[in-house]
Structure 1
Amino acid sequence: MSAMKEPAPASRISSGPDIAVIGGSGFYSFFDSDAHGVIVDTPYGRPSAPITIGAVAGRQTAFLPRHGERHQYSPHTVPYRANMWALRTLGVRKVLAPCAAGSLSPDLGPGAVVVPDQLVDRTSGRTQTYFDGGAVHVRFADPYCPGLRAAAMLPGTVDGGAVVVVEGPRFSTRAESRWFAAQGWTLVNMTGHPEAVLARELELCYATIALVTDLDAGLTAGEGVRAVDVFAEFERNLGPFKDLVRAAVAEVPTTDCAHCRVHDGVTLPIELP
């Protein structure tokens, strides 16, 4: 059982973690004991849940369940801006983002763990910037931090691939799935955007670690993807997946990252926390 204490306002936290884990579908807790909750208010509302802080490999680490503590947020309603802003407010500068994903390749079956190196945005209507004024354009050719990707490349993980992020909450049609696969994309997911670009705007190092839960509809016959099967597959692999994420946290460098420092010489229209 977790020994998490009652959440405290962020203003009471004297020193915060520099690394965070954002848990995806089925990944609602991370610490076994001695963790405390922190309530953070942001200009964009409150994040998905109180942020818990505990130790991983001797390193103070924050954890935030992307969909809330009871999965109350669907992919298109997740408060992405509040989530990322809250983490930076606490002192976080590096974010590992485990998630569930469908596979667009028969070579990557359920249980595979992939560390993508590219992202394709197929969402619609999601706010994907903090910069509503001013001409601020961040480089995003390589959306994931190379240092964090290297830390996540542990034995058994698959290096590279493009994740296409769809709006949801529905799954893809067979035609859409076949189209995605024909483009050479590797995975399909519903939450990887705008999370990654918001991290870049906040100069947070960010990398995704994707657990494959299913073969997408265009690769298989039958009924297509069902949510109940996705959650069941994630649950079967959750223990080893958490262990892998903990091992990745231990490998994350403590040094600054020039790749994700994108605002040098730029006057921003807002002040970052």
Structure 2
Amino acid sequence: MSETSSAVGIIGGTGLTTLSGLKITGARTVETPWGAPSSELTEGRLDGQPVVFLSRHGNPHRIPPHEVNYRANIKALYDAGVRTVIGVNAVGGIHPDMGPACVVIPEQIIDYTWGRAGTFFEGDLERVTHIDFTWPYDKAGRDVLMQAATAHEVSFAGFGVYGATQGPRLETAAEIRRMERDGCDLVGMTGMPEAALAAELGMRYVCLGLVVNRAAGKSDHVITMEEIEAAIEQGMSGVRQILEVSMAGLGALMALPQPS
């Protein structure tokens, strides 16, 4: 297996348009049958592990969540040989234990988005294809991230249901109350269809979330960009530490059978 085909894919979200610890070996601008991905593919090594990094919102940060070309992003990584993907997401905390700067490694997702191109299986098909999406996040990958967080003493929540909303606006307090009744612990705008597309291609996919604000109605003040930026500055170091420490374990997953 070539070095590129053994690479771990990292999709950076808000607050992670670049990865400072990445020793860059090259960068490529690519095209897919679904158009261009959000950014060039940056190839390199992180703690010795080959990595392909992609900035979800572009670099500079310019593509809103509902306009991200998720199909192109996932297909570009797949074509680069990536079979394990870590999606880094900035999220709002609904669960009381998920306050600003908290790192979350969720286990489930509920999709509230609409109108997004969310499948590779459409158009001129020979047959209809349905994937099993019971467990949207790969268990082995989640275990590696949680072990890395524990080893590096990064405080994290190893549970949670991610509610994916349309954006780009933030949610109303009533919407958050509804999501809480549905069982959501955190809210974000980029979790879907990214996870489902990775599943369609048989890739391992794990979410590494950073809480950047209390969700609407969960604090006594309005949500401000200053609050979000402060939480990113405080918490992103923990995200980077988890990524760096987890690379060897994520690389070792390449030798295991891909999820069915």
Query: Is this a same-fold pair by TM over 0.5?
Result: yes
What's the TM-score, normalizing by structure 2?
0.90
Moved more, 160-169 or 236-245: 236-245
Q: Distance in 1 between matches of 2:247 and 2:74?
A: 18
Equivalent AA in structure 2 for residue 20 of structure 1: G
Please name the residue that 1:265 is paired with.
none
Equivalence for 2:9: 20
Separation (CA, whole Å) in 2 of partners of 1:46 and 1:17: 23
TM-score, reference length from structure 1 = 0.86
Percent identity reads 34
Structure 2 unaligned residues grouped into runs of 5+ = none
How far does the alpha carbon of each residue in 1:125-167 deviate from its partner, in whole angstroms, 9 at most, with x for none?
A: 0011001033100000110111111111121321111000000
Which runs of 4 or more aligned residues in structure 1 lie more than 3 Å from their structure 2 counterparts after TM superposition?
13-17, 31-35
Name the residue aligned to 1:198: 197
| Contact 1:31-1:54 at 8 Å conserved across structures | no
CA root-mean-square deviation: 1.7
What per-residue deviation string (whole Å, max 9, x for no partner) do you get for residues 170-223 of structure 1? 001011111212233110000000000000011110000111111111212222
Structure with greater helix percent: 2
Give 1:34 shift. 3.5
2:110 matched to which residue of 1?
120
- 1:17 touches 1:91 (CA, 8 Å); kept in 2? yes
Tell me which of 105, 129, 135 is aligned to 2:128. Answer: 135
Range that drifts further, 118-127 or 227-236: 227-236
Mapping for residues 1-273 of structure 1, pairs under 5 Å: 15-32=4-21, 33-132=23-122, 133=125, 134-153=127-146, 154-155=149-150, 156-223=155-222, 225-252=223-250, 253-258=253-258, 260-261=259-260
Number of residue equivalences? 247
For residues 93-141 of structure 1, give each alpha carbon's deviation from its aligned partner in whole angstroms, at most 9, with x where no partner exists.
Answer: 0001111110002222111111110000000100110010331000001
**Structure 1 unpaired stretches of 5+:** 1-12, 262-273
Which deviates further from its counterpart, 54-63 or 199-208?
Answer: 54-63
Q: Decide whether the 8 Å contact of 1:16 with 1:91 is kept in 2.
A: yes
Contact residue 56 and residue 250 of structure 1 kept, 8 A: no
Distance 2:159 2:79 in 1: 30
1:28-53 CA distance string (max 9 Å, x none): 11144443101211001111111101
